[in-house]
Amino acid sequence: MSTDSNTMFLKIEFGGGLELLFSNQRSHRITIPSTVPADNNTSVTTKDAASPATRPADVTYLLHHLRDHLLKEREELFMENGTVRPGILVLINDTDWELEGEGEYLLKDGDEIVLISTLHGG
């Protein structure tokens, strides 16, 4: 758990072949700011995020963060129109994100987010 209230600590898990876009590594531990720019810009620092247009970090912000900082190749296979590409399942603490408000879910320190591709062969 994070000791700094300005940041939070998340556990990210990729599966179903999606890990191939993320250095072929299934498990990642990341830290993101608790308050983020409203435009999902992930390159500004936490201090800059004190500017007027901010909001609490949600899953939509997290997806942008993963794309900008962890993704190694072919971003079109991960995101489309500001969210995950259709066919990628997202679970928030083991619950289908469709039950948690999808991208609008407000992240908490220690949350575990799982992303699984359903698009790879049977």
Partner 1 sequence: MAPQTCAICQKAKAMVKRPKTGEQICRECFFYVFETEVHNTITQANLFKPGDRVAIGASGGKDSTVLAYVMKMLNERYQYGLELFLLSIDEGITGYRDDSLETVKRNQQQYDMPLKILSYDELYGWTMDAIVSQVGRKNNCTFCGVFRRQALDRGAAMLNVDHIVTGHNADDIAETVLMNIMRGDIARLGRCTSICTQGEDTIRRSKPFKYAYEKEIVMYAYFKKLDYFSTECIYSPDAYRGHARVFLKDLEAARPSAIIDIIHSGEAFEVREEVKATQRVQQVCQRCGYMSSNALCKACTLLEGLERGMANSGITDRARKKLDAEGPAPDNLRTIPFFKPPSGGPLIAIESVS
By the 8 A CB rule, do 42 and 64 touch?
Answer: yes
Closest by CA position to 58, among listed 26, 33, 21, 22: 33
What is the nearest approach in angstroms of partner 1 to the Cβ of residue 107? 13
- Selected range binding partner 1 among 38-46, 49-57, 66-74, 97-105, rule: CB under 8 A: 97-105
Among 64, 66, 105, 113, binds partner 1 (CB under 8 A): 105
Is 41 or 109 the residue whose CB approaches partner 1 more closely? Answer: 109
Is 24 or 43 the residue whose CB approaches partner 1 more closely? Answer: 24
Among 3, 5, 52, 94, binds partner 1 (CB under 8 A): 94
Amino acid at 12: I
3-state secondary structure of 26: coil
Instruction: Count the site residues for partner 1 by CB under 8 A.
Output: 25
Task: Report the alpha-carbon distance of residue 4 to residue 40 in Å, rounded.
Answer: 21
Burial class (CB in 10 A: 0-12, 13-18, 19+), 84: buried
26 binds partner 1 (CB under 8 A): no
Q: How many CB atoms lie within 10 A of CB 7?
A: 16
Judged by the rule CB under 8 A, the positions of this chain that interact with partner 1 are 15-17, 20, 85-87, 89, 91, 94-96, 98-101, 105, 114, 116-122
